[in-house]
Amino acid sequence: MKKLISIIMAAVLITGLAACGRTAEEPAKQSGLTIYASFYPMQFLVSEIAGDKAQVKSLVPAGVEPHDWEPKPRTLAELQESDMLVYNGAGMEAWLGDLLPSIEKAGVKTVNTSMGLDLLPFDEKNADEHEDEEGEEEVALIYDPHIWVSPVKYKQQAQNVLDALIELDAANQEYYSANYEKLAEQLDKLDSDYRQAVAGFKSKVFIVSHSAFEYLAKEYGLTQLPIRGVTPQAEPSPAKLAELAEICRENNIKYIFFESLVSPKLSETLANEIGAQVLVLNDGQGITEEQMKQGRSYITIMYENLENLKKALMQ
Ligand SMILES: [Zn+2]
């Protein structure tokens, strides 16, 4: 970590020097706010609420699994020049801990969207599998960080974004509040559509490749069984796989889910073992720039997930 910090410090110095030399070619500073979001579901919240008052950028590029991402040497400098940073918190952005003090020192407003929310504890059952490929222990998680997959919790995160935007730019309070209301309405509709569909489910148990859907499961009275732990890198033991195969047979499970950004290999192995098929559940980050331009969003992803859950659990 010391090495990373010195690389970042060097990068800050170089960026600073470079900045002195570029005057003629520098484009006029855009009016409005520049806001960074840590990854797509956070970017969507800020974009919807800030509307045309801000340029919103995601640190983790769309379509990249956020558990794997690490900041670039230039990331700190970019953040320090912005107006606000919005992140999920609850341990999702482990890389942020070292950068936060320097970002705040530069006068940037930082927003932890999980602040004040009721969080689920990190599932101890997954702890023994919580090792990376080199066998090193990962930073211990206290909470399950995948909050945004619950429309109810996501709306609370949206409220935190609204409050922060108003603090940052009170002149546009009405505009932000109106945008928030539009988003909140969509999230309420999503929530009631989930409740209605789940009431008709014959089975309540679904198997996923990594434990990204616990908040969704808890919200709607479903049971999520992860093949892997909370991070997609953790590998399950053969005993764990055998145990899951047994549960699948007992529950007559016909579909095994995998996240769109995680290799389907494990889910396929389990599916083959029990004669089931695989289906996608998208944890919200599995969306590309191209798909966003075509109108896909957090909301459409959550409806695609609902369709796949219906397919698996209504039979
Ligand atoms: Zn995850």
Given a cut of 80, is residue 12 above it in pLDDT? no
Q: Is the dihedral of CA 78, 79, 85, 89 positive or negative?
A: positive
Query: Is 288 in the same domain as 152?
Result: no
Tell me which of 185, 211, 233 is where a domain ends.
185
Query: Is 140 in the same domain as 283?
Result: no
Measured distance CA(42)–CA(53) in Å, rounded: 17
Given a cut of 50, is residue 129 above it in pLDDT? no
Cα 10 to ligand 1 centre (Å): 32
Query: Is 211 in the same domain as 134?
Result: no
pTM score, two decimals? 0.85
Tell me which of 165, 185, 205 is where a domain ends.
185
Label residue 42 by pLDDT band (50, 70, 90).
very high
* C-alpha atoms less than 13 angstroms from C-alpha of 114 in its C-beta half-sphere: 21
**Mean of the pLDDT values across residues 201-226?**
94
Cα 239 to ligand 1 centre (Å): 23
Query: Is 234 in the same domain as 132?
Result: no
**Mean of the pLDDT values across residues 225-253?**
83
Cα 20 to ligand 1 centre (Å): 41
The domain tally of the chain equals: 2
Q: Is residue 75 part of a domain?
A: yes
Angle at 94 between CA 15 and CA 118, to 5 degrees: 130
Label residue 31 by pLDDT band (50, 70, 90).
low
Tell me which of 162, 185, 208 is where a domain ends.
185
Contact predicate 56/111, CB 8 Å = no
Residue 91 belongs to domain with CATH number: 3.40.50.1980
Query: Is 255 in the same domain as 303?
Result: yes
Query: Is 175 in the same domain as 211?
Result: no
Query: Each residue of 280-308: pLDDT tens digit?
Result: 999 988 788 889 999 999 999 999 999 99
Cα 188 to ligand 1 centre (Å): 24
Contact predicate 194/212, CB 8 Å = no
Query: Is 180 in the same domain as 221?
Result: no
Residue that wins the pLDDT comparison between 159 and 13:
159
Cα 101 to ligand 1 centre (Å): 25
Question: In percent, how much of the chain has pLDDT > 90?
Answer: 65
Question: How many Cβ atoms sit within 10 Å of the Cβ of residue 166?
Answer: 18
Cα 67 to ligand 1 centre (Å): 6
Given a cut of 90, is residue 88 above it in pLDDT? yes
Identify the pLDDT of residue 50. Answer: 98
Cα 58 to ligand 1 centre (Å): 17
Query: Each residue of 206-216: pLDDT tens digit?
Result: 999 888 999 99
Q: Is residue 21 part of a domain?
A: no
Crossing angle for the helix pair 151-168 and 40-50, nearest 10 degrees?
50
Query: Is 129 in the same domain as 249?
Result: no
Within 8 A by CB and 6+ apart from 223, the residues are 204, 205, 206, 217
Query: Is 156 in the same domain as 56?
Result: yes
Contact predicate 48/23, CB 8 Å = no
Crossing angle for the helix pair 40-50 and 173-199, nearest 10 degrees?
130
- Measured in degrees and rounded to the nearest 5, phi and psi for residue 150 equal -95, 120
Query: Which range marks the domain in which residue 235 is found?
Result: 195-313
Cα 211 to ligand 1 centre (Å): 7
